[in-house]
């Protein structure tokens, strides 16, 4: 990757894409947001719908200044996602976004040490590479993807590690939504600390 030293410092990031859209999942669903998708992920979920993000070398090492400038033109809320954004040092990016007066959110598996300052931290743990222990203390939102019946136990294991104020969501894996939605609905009714998250952006046909 070009500019590897700057990438290591977080001054450049492997930018896959950036776009203005509606947040489709979780607590902030329905709100306008500018998404910054960072390349690079070795968590390797078989059902990942953005596998093209996995190889960081496929995405240009981009200085953070134009990323921040583009974000500031579009929205008050910026969502940093991936890939796995915590693969990289997020401190310079979040500092620059906050200096522009923006709210900064992250969507992460928590598989790497937390860097950066976040106004909203959405933790979505993955079995292939579970979160580092420190990630749980940052979580404002826990979003667990439900692929099969065993995932409810997995969800509870992670819910036991987050703070009392953390919002808890169960979200069906997209290809299994018809098969699992009934079980998720029943589980939430029996365990009302949880809520259902649906990928509404896919239903309405936006990024």
Which pTM value belongs to this model?
0.94
- Name residue, tokens 């826990």: 142
d(CA 4, CA 204): 38
Alpha-carbon Rg for the chain, nearest whole angstrom, is 17
Task: Please count the structural domains in the chain.
Answer: 1
The SS3 assignment for 4 reads helix
Predicted local confidence at residue 49, as pLDDT = 81
> Is 197 within 8 Å of 26 (Cβ atoms)?
yes
Q: How would you write the pLDDT of the chain (207 residues) with one tens digit per residue?
A: 557 889 889 999 999 999 999 999 999 999 999 999 999 999 988 878 899 999 999 999 999 999 999 999 999 999 999 999 999 999 999 999 999 999 999 999 999 999 999 999 999 999 999 999 999 999 999 999 999 999 999 999 999 999 999 999 999 998 888 899 999 999 999 999 999 999 988 888 888
For residue 150, CA distances in Å to 85, 118, 144, 184, 188 come to 27, 31, 12, 12, 15
Q: Which range of residues forms the domain containing residue 200?
A: 4-204
- The CATH number of residue 181's host domain is 3.20.20.70
């Amino acid at each position: 990757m070009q500019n590897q030293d700057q990438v290591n410092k977080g001054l450049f990031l492997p930018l896959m894409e950036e776009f203005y859209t509606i947040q489709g999942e979780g607590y902030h669903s329905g709100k306008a947001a500018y998404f910054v998708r960072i390349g690079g992920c070795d968590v390797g979920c078989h059902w990942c719908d953005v596998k093209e993000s996995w190889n960081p070398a496929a995405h240009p090492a981009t200085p953070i200044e134009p990323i921040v400038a583009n974000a500031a033109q579009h929205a008050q809320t910026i969502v940093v996602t991936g890939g796995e954004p915590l693969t990289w040092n997020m401190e310079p990016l979040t500092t620059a976004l906050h200096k522009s007066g923006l709210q900064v959110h992250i969507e992460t598996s928590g598989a790497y040490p937390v860097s950066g300052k976040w106004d909203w931290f959405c933790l979505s743990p993955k079995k292939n590479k579970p979160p580092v222990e420190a990630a749980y203390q940052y979580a404002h939102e826990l979003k667990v993807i439900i692929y099969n019946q065993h995932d409810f136990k997995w969800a509870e294991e992670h819910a036991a590690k987050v703070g009392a104020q953390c919002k808890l969501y169960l979200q069906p894996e997209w290809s299994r939504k018809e098969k699992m939605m009934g079980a998720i609905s029943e589980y939430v009714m029996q365990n009302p600390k949880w809520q259902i998250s649906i990928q509404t952006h896919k239903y309405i046909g936006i990024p």
